[in-house]
Structure 1
């Protein structure tokens, strides 16, 4: 239970920090469907977009290595939560 609360807290914290980056984006959610399958080795970059006035959901968008295709990841999927935790661990001093 504490682990889930910690992950949700981290996601909310990242969402608050990223609010400034949300300016100038589309006026709707980017993710209509999300991917739950594991694909960590295929991912080159992950971006987290917090909820805002145009989209109530936190969106996690990954760019694939070989194709540069962007796909939406399910932020509630356990493996995606681990990816987010690793990103935050690297960014924190």
Structure 2
């Protein structure tokens, strides 16, 4: 093969890999994929509100539970979520 064909293929492959990498960062990188509408208030140990940002365009409420000690997401549009947002 000639040098120009090899060089053209190399440039083409670099362009394709750059486009694939750019596409990966366009998607949202939200923390919450599943949200709950209600949780037992006595089981809530802590909560943190994440405002919309460049990575995720929705408000997220991450709640740390006492038992089992894990983090879950609360729907900010639910009554309990609205209460935590105003607290």
Flag whether TM exceeds 0.5 (same fold).
yes
Taking a change above 3 Å as real, the CA distance of residues 38 and 66 of structure 1, as seen in their structure-2 partners, is closer
Query: Which residue number in structure 1 is paired with residue 40 of structure 2?
Result: 39
How many residue pairs get matched? Answer: 60
What SS class does the counterpart of residue 53 from structure 1 fall into?
A: coil
Mind listing any 5+ residue stretches in structure 1 that lack a counterpart? 1-26, 87-93
Q: Which has the larger radius of gyration?
A: 2
Displacement of 1:62 after TM fit?
0.1
CA RMSD of aligned residues (A): 1.5
Displacement of 1:41 after TM fit?
1.4
TM-score (norm 2): 0.62
What SS class does the counterpart of residue 35 from structure 2 fall into?
A: coil
Query: Which residue number in structure 1 is paired with residue 68 of structure 2?
Result: 67
